[in-house]
Amino acid sequence: MNQLEMVALDKLITDVTALRIEIAELRDEIKKLHHDDDDKAKKEILNRYYPRR
């Protein structure tokens, strides 16, 4: 493997690592959004069947 191939491989590994980090961050944000949806649904059900007086 020549030096140019090694540099290209290093750049590729760096880019893939950055993408993996970004994907993990996006997954965390998606989980937060779904959690909020679950809370809203629970509140709606509780308000429907156990209204506040």
Residue 31 has pLDDT above 90, yes or no: no
In whole angstroms, give the CA distance from residue 35 to residue 42: 11
pLDDT per residue as tens digits for the range 34-45: 766 667 777 787
- CA torsion, ordered 32, 33, 36, 40, to nearest 10 deg: -160
Q: Write out the E strands in the chain.
A: none
pTM of the model: 0.59
Side-chain half-sphere exposure of 7, counting CA atoms within 13 A: 3
Count the residues in the chain. 53
